[in-house]
Chains A and B, each alone.
Chain A
Amino acid sequence: MSNDVHQHIDSAMTYVLVFVVLICLTIATTAVAFVDLGPFSVVAALVIACCKMLLVALFFMHVRHSTRLTRLVVLGGLLWLGILLLLTLGDVMSRGWVGVPGR
């Protein structure tokens, strides 16, 4: 049988549960935005967004059941995004730290 496409089929209940958690996180991130957490409001918003991204990627995009090669490629992509963000922000945000002689 070439029908051995080893696909794992999640139950509809799993998807509905993930969906409910996603909705709760959306409400949570909206509610938290109105509370003054100082610099931590950015952190809270991004942590919740990353949780939602993980839920969508792992369950809805089936990364949970993907081949190792696919998972490696996904991680590699995020690594490049990390390089883009970290190095550029590292430059921009540290520019005022050291005075430039003659200026």
Chain B
Amino acid sequence: MASETQAHAHQESLALREQFDTAAQQKDASTLGMWIFLITEIMFFGGMFLAYTVYRHLYSHVFAVASSSLNVYIGAANTVVLLCSSLTMVLAVRAAQLSQKKAIVLFLVLTLLLGGVFLGVKAYEWNEKFVEHHVPGASFHFEDLPASDQGHAQLFFSLYFAMTGLHALHMVIGAGLLCYLVFEARKGRYSAEYNTPVDLIGLYWHFVDIIWIFLFPLLYLIDRHLGR
């Protein structure tokens, strides 16, 4: 009887819902749910990648020239920043698994900072586009292309802004989630017994990283040798 109440108390501390038998089962269910959400996100971004691929196929020359106007070194540096943030995120998850409560906060804050650096660099790049009149709209003008190709160049930059913008929106949401994690982790909520939120938001953060892993070569790199 005594051990039963003890077990009950233990389960309460893990916030075990009544529909689950064990904490492990509950964690597996949460992970599965997160992956299903991520798959809806894959399909969401997949549509954009598809649109980009189709138009790149149709107007390959214009897309090559327009793509080559992006600064590849800034793009590569930003990729490195995002990969660093993925490393710190996974180390935060590891710290949670090991109940290293101070390390969780440290790595989460580092992840947040690196995410902020990425967004800052992205804002700088977007600003450059405004200065160069490479933003689709009335004032759009791309110097290296004849008037007949301006529309297709606008198409490239529309897709560029839609895809990087959507990615940046996901980063902003991720940063909000990280703030929540830092807030909770400072109260010592996450430990080896309970770290599901850290784990799941980690999955989200790595997913956003994977999207950028594909955006970077597709937008900045392919046809770089043609555009020069």
Contacts and interface: CB of A to CB of B under 8 A. Distances in A.
Given A23-B83, A70-B28, A84-B47, A34 B224 contact: yes
A98 interface: no
B162 interface: no
A93 B57 contact: yes
A67 B34 CA distance: 13
Nearest to A89: B53
A76 B42 CA distance: 11
Contacts of A59: 90
B223 interface: yes
B164 interface: no
Nearest to B90: A60
Given A34-B224, A80-B39, A88 B54 contact: yes
Q: What is the predominant secondary structure among interface residues of chain A facing chain B? A: helix
Interface stretch (B91-99, B125-133, B153-161, B174-182): B91-99
A33 B28 contact: no
A89 B55 CA distance: 11
Contact of A29 (B42, B49, B193, B221): B221
Interface size range on B against A:
35 or more
Interface residues of A, number: 54
Interface string B19-50: 00011100110011001101100110011011
A62 B207 CA distance: 12
B204 to A, nearest CB: 10
A100 interface: no
B120 interface: no
Contacts of A53: 210, 213-214
B32 A73 contact: yes
A67 B25 CA distance: 10
A66 B32 CA distance: 9
Contacts of B24: 2, 4-6
Interface in B84-114: 84, 86-87, 89-91, 94, 97-98
Contacts of A77: 35, 38-39, 42-43
Given A29-B217, A81-B43, A60 B206 contact: yes
Interface string B191-228: 01100000100110011011001101110111111100
B80 interface: yes
A4 B7 CA distance: 13
B173 interface: no
B10 interface: yes
B53 A33 contact: no
Contact of A88 (B50, B193, B226): B50
Contact of A26 (B46, B83, B206): B83
Query: 6 closest A-B pairs (Cβ-Cβ)?
Result: A77-B39, A45-B217, A33-B221, A33-B224, A36-B225, A19-B87
Given A33-B225, A41-B221, A61-B207, 18 more contacts: A3-B193, A10-B94, A19-B83, A26-B79, A33-B217, A35-B225, A45-B217, A49-B214, A53-B213, A56-B213, A60-B206, A69-B28, A70-B32, A73-B32, A77-B39, A84-B47, A85-B46, A85-B49
